[in-house]
């Protein structure tokens, strides 16, 4: 894609749900831009009309859709509403309402998207983490979106993974997936792809990835860190926490009804079935995406190259590659005393990972505090059971707890013995 020195306008889409970080995010976005006069903001501001105030509302560069939070239908609905505020700007940037930006982020995005050489590029990834506060640390090191596994519904979900040797990258890296929280594309993305308001949460990024890819868009990860994201937010209001049967004054369906309908639509997309609206494109096929990404949606399997986070497109694989992917059961055993007290008393979650003989991560699970409380407190030995699919033999494990107040704690790791893992056959699973 050739770029010139024209006055490129960037439409910045932000869906904010009762988020006190909305204003700091907008301010940081403006301050860090080299050409702030080129920015146009579209904001779906889901808030309490009696309490919240928002500056900028009388500024012509801001288009604000104010919605009582009780009437919200979720993040995807809000992002779809924001797209209605687009007025033909050259570029479209979608970010969450709790982000920070690199200096000259606008110029960096345009430079990188020009380096892709694609006529229809998308720059997107999981933004690097930061914590809001008086001393905000923005660390270098861009992330990629790596395949993590399939849900019980057969929907792929992703995890952040560091890009190895990113300092030596000279152009953006090709990507398998796009992120909803940081997406930069030509403005035509709004007309050609749009945003499905019927999606809710899980499956949003998989659906958007497939729709963009099959519509001819090429996916890339930035070669440097451009946006940071606050992933903690333990006390922040969430749509699914607010929109339950007990919520007073809410309108429409409760969150789990929206989520169920959303997952059903995503499952139809993954199967290549027609949907009523916001379906797959016609420039590429679903099978072409599976070959590019190294996935089989029907069999819910992923190639080892995919699991390791290798840059797509995947090398050509044998026709029967799915037969070389096995379901493993791994048993991790360690002494309770190997972890500090905060891993139990103040736990946010435990990272649990399994690696193959080369040291590549082939499985990851973050066990939340709600599940950790079920661990037997009177036993000195802790046993964790992991089930996953891989073509590689499990060789080692890591358990790395995160404390709510102290952050990452001491991690423990060890190798797996022959009795600690086994292949699960279909007959065993029945």
Find the Cα–Cα–Cα–Cα dihedral 171, 176, 179, 180, rounded to 10°: 130
What pLDDT, on a 0 to 100 scale, did the predictor assign at position 224? Answer: 96
Specify the pairing of strand 143-150 against strand 301-302.
unpaired
Cα 44 to Cα 18, 82, 412: the distances in Å are 11, 6, 44
Cβ(45)–Cβ(117) below 8 Å: no
Q: What are the structure tokens assigned to 275, written together? A: 């949907």
The CATH code that applies to domain 1-322 is 3.90.550.10
State the alpha helices, DSSP H only, in 245-392.
255-270, 286-293, 304-307, 342-345, 369-372
d(CA 263, CA 203): 7
What pLDDT, on a 0 to 100 scale, did the predictor assign at position 2? Answer: 43
Cβ(177)–Cβ(145) below 8 Å: yes
> Domain 325-423: which CATH class?
mainly beta
396 CB-near residues (< 8 Å, 6+ apart): 354, 355, 359, 413, 414, 415, 416
Per-residue pLDDT tens digits of the chain, which is 430 residues long: 444 445 689 999 999 999 999 999 999 999 999 999 999 999 999 999 987 778 887 788 999 999 999 999 999 999 999 999 999 999 999 999 999 999 999 999 999 999 999 999 999 999 999 989 888 889 889 999 999 999 999 999 999 999 988 999 999 999 999 999 999 999 999 999 999 999 999 999 999 999 999 999 999 999 999 999 998 887 888 898 889 887 776 677 899 999 999 999 999 999 999 999 999 999 999 999 999 999 999 999 999 999 989 999 999 999 999 999 999 999 999 999 999 999 999 998 999 999 999 998 999 889 999 899 888 888 899 999 999 999 999 999 999 999 988 889 999 999 999 999 999 986 655 4
Q: What is the mean pLDDT of the chain?
A: 93
- Give the length of the chain: 430
This prediction's pTM:
0.88
Cβ(176)–Cβ(147) below 8 Å: yes
Tens digits of residue pLDDT in 158-186 = 999 999 889 999 999 999 999 999 999 99
What pLDDT, on a 0 to 100 scale, did the predictor assign at position 3? Answer: 46
What pLDDT, on a 0 to 100 scale, did the predictor assign at position 140? Answer: 87
Domain boundaries, the chain: 1-322, 325-423
Q: What are the structure tokens assigned to 4, written together? A: 């010139």
β-strand partners of 174 = 220
313 upstream amide cis, omega within 30 of 0: yes
State the alpha helices, DSSP H only, in 59-104.
75-83
Number of Cβ within a 10 Å radius of residue 53: 7
Helix (H, G, I), strand (E, B) or coil at 236: coil
d(CA 404, CA 23): 25
Determine the straight-line distance between the first and last CA of the chain, rounded to whole angstroms: 52
What pLDDT, on a 0 to 100 scale, did the predictor assign at position 250? Answer: 67
What pLDDT, on a 0 to 100 scale, did the predictor assign at position 135? Answer: 85
């Amino acid at each position: 894609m050739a770029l010139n020195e024209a006055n490129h306008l960037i439409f910045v889409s932000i869906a904010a749900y009762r988020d006190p970080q909305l204003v700091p995010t907008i301010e940081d976005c403006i301050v860090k831009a080299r050409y702030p006069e080129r920015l146009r903001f579209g904001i779906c501001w889901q808030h309490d009309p009696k309490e919240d105030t928002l500056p900028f509302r009388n500024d012509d560069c801001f288009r604000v859709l104010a919605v009582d939070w009780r009437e919200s239908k979720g993040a995807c609905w809000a992002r779809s509403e924001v797209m209605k505020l687009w007025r033909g700007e050259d570029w479209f940037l979608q970010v969450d309402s709790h982000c920070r930006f690199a200096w000259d982020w606008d110029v960096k995005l345009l430079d990188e998207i020009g380096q892709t050489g694609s006529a229809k590029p998308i720059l997107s990834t999981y933004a690097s983490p930061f914590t809001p506060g008086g001393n905000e640390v923005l660390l270098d090191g861009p992330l990629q979106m790596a395949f993590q596994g399939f849900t019980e519904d057969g929907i792929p979900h992703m995890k952040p993974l560091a890009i190895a040797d990113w300092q030596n990258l000279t152009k953006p890296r090709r990507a398998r997936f796009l992120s909803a929280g940081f997406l930069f594309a030509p403005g035509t993305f709004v007309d050609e792809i749009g945003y499905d308001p019927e999606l809710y949460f899980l499956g949003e990024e998989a659906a958007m990835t497939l729709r963009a890819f099959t519509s001819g868009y090429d996916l890339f990860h930035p070669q440097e860190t451009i946006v940071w994201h606050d992933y903690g937010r333990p006390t922040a209001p969430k749509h699914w926490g607010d929109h339950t049967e007990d919520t007073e004054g809410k309108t429409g369906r409760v969150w789990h009804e929206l989520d169920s309908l959303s997952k059903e639509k995503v499952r139809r997309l993954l199967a290549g079935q027609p949907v009523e609206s916001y379906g797959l494109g016609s420039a590429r096929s679903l099978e072409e995406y599976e070959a590019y990404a190294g996935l089989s949606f029907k069999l819910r399997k992923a190639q080892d190259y995919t699991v390791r986070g290798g840059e797509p497109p995947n090398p050509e694989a044998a026709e029967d590659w799915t037969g070389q992917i096995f379901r493993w059961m791994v048993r991790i055993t360690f002494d309770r005393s190997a972890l500090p007290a905060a891993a139990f008393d103040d736990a946010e979650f435990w990272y649990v990972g399994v690696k193959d003989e080369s040291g590549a991560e082939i499985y990851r699970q973050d066990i939340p505090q709600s599940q950790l409380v079920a661990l037997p407190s009177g036993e000195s030995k802790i046993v964790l059971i992991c089930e996953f699919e891989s073509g590689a033999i499990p060789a080692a494990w890591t358990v790395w707890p995160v404390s709510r107040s102290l952050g990452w704690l001491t991690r423990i790791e060890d190798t797996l013995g022959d009795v600690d893992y086994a292949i699960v056959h279909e007959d065993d699973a029945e």
